[in-house]
Structure 1
Amino acid sequence: MTSVEALGRRADGSVQLLVCVTCRHSGAGDPPEPKPGAVLRDRLLAAALPAGVRVHGVACLSNCSRGCTIALRGGGRWTYVYGNIDSAAHVAAVIEGTTRYAASHDGLVPWRERPEHFRKNCIARIPPVEVCDD
């Protein structure tokens, strides 16, 4: 069994959508409160996301020059960090990308199947913790 197959078997199906609530849009000009990252989190909490997806607000994903920023992660899955997310214009893209991520068994969504914004704004792809145990 390959390590990728093993990862798929260990995945528990739950997905966390982490949203940086301290993010501002790139280029500034935002009001001091509410911060665009917090607005994005609230919009995603109100959205219809797939079963098993939980939205969490987190303080600073350290991608301030390309905010707003989110991360997708889950047990046995690759983690992805995406930036340059507009709290109004990209909510549908985040929902689509999260839905595709949740439907994958290992977090690997083929590049062509990702929303266009995700294709152009991937900040990092991080292997599952289990891969690092080898």
Structure 2
Amino acid sequence: MSDSDVRIVVCVSCRDAGEDNSRPGAAFLDALQARLRARSVDLRVESVECLAVCKRPATIALAAPGKWTYVIGDLSSATVDDVIDSALRFGESENGIVAWKDRPQCFRKGVVSRTPPLT
């Protein structure tokens, strides 16, 4: 499996609790795309309107064919490099399960759910 089989799905609809016009996911998406270009990393990034984790923006899902899917919340532009590293480790894993010791801090603390692969 190549890095391009890994999808980072970013929720762009949640609002910041303190500011109605602030969209943390949209800002995270912009920062993530810029950092992927700067690092020349080939990961697929998609935006979605809702991952139903509105109380923990910014939220992403890591997904790939035949692998468990993770939903991770409480992200910010400060965690962009860690998210990229998490996605790369996720892609390298056999089934999507990344060992705790190999997870960056935002991955350890931010997991909202883990869903088994679809068969």
Instruction: Report the counterpart of residue 26 of structure 2 in structure 1.
Output: 38
Matched pairs, number: 114
Instruction: Report the counterpart of residue 50 of structure 2 in structure 1.
Output: 60
Q: How does 1:85-100 map to 2 (within 5 A)?
A: 85-86=75-76, 88-100=77-89
Instruction: Report the counterpart of residue 106 of structure 2 in structure 1.
Output: 117
Given the superposition, is the C-alpha separation of residues 73 and 112 from structure 1 closer, same or farther in structure 2, using an over 3 Å criterion?
same
SS of equivalent residue, structure 1 residue 40: helix
2:15, 2:89 → 1: CA distance?
Answer: 26
Q: How does 1:1-134 map to 2 (within 5 A)?
A: 12-13=1-2, 14-25=5-16, 28-30=17-19, 32-33=21-22, 35-48=23-36, 50-51=41-42, 53-86=43-76, 88-130=77-119
1:94, 1:20 → 2: CA distance?
Answer: 14
Q: In the alignment, is the contact (CA less than 8 A) between 2:15 and 2:54 conserved in 1?
A: yes
Matched to 1:57, the amino acid is S
SS of equivalent residue, structure 1 residue 89: helix
1:126, 1:82 → 2: CA distance?
Answer: 12
1:21, 1:41 → 2: CA distance?
Answer: 8
Q: CA RMSD for the aligned pairs?
A: 1.6
Matched to 1:22, the amino acid is S
**Structure 2: gaps of 5 or more residues:** none
TM-score, normalized by length of structure 1? 0.77
Matched to 1:42, the amino acid is D
Larger Rg: 1
Per-residue CA deviation, residues 7-34 of structure 1 (Å, 9 max, x unaligned), is xxxxx54011000011234xx223615x
1:98, 1:23 → 2: CA distance?
Answer: 22
Q: In the alignment, is the contact (CA less than 8 A) between 1:30 and 1:36 conserved in 2?
A: no
